[in-house]
Structure 1
Amino acid sequence: MSMCQQDVEKVLQQNGKRITRQRKILLDVILNGKWECCKEIYYEAVKRDPSIGMATVYRMMATLEEIGVLERRSVFRMKDDVQHC
């Protein structure tokens, strides 16, 4: 089964997470890039919304890992069945 941003948002909601503007931006950034670290995600996200903090990125990555959308290896990688719609 392939998941897109909308599917990830639904899973977040099912797990009691609000879908904020910042979370939408972070999901878009994460799904549309190949990132080596959270800092790279932060640098891209802050271009779109300067109010996004580094801690927000780390929390989002932890949340995505917690709900099973993302897995941590030596770097974060989106699971193979998650894609941008």
Structure 2
Amino acid sequence: MNQTFNIYFGKVLLKEIDKIAKREHRSRSELIREAARAYIEKKSKWQAIFAPGSKSVEKSNLTEADIFREIKTVRRNKKAS
């Protein structure tokens, strides 16, 4: 089922949307739907990529500071060798 809703775009962004839609011979709605689909697909792919790592981090109780500290250590060791 399709649903219509209102959304606000600033003038500059709307002008860019209209320019691209015209160049691609699409309506604003088609362009915005495609942009939403692409965004959702991209987010889903990134979540799938990072999910295994996130689970490992949760199990290991590592903090973000621990990870950055380890990255610095690895980089420092690479420079020394």
TM-score, normalised to structure 1, is: 0.28
Higher CA-based Rg: 2
* Larger RCO, structures 1/2 (Cα 8 Å, 6+ apart): 1
Q: Greater helix percent: which structure? A: 2
TM-score, normalised to structure 2, is: 0.29
Q: Greater strand percent: which structure? A: 1
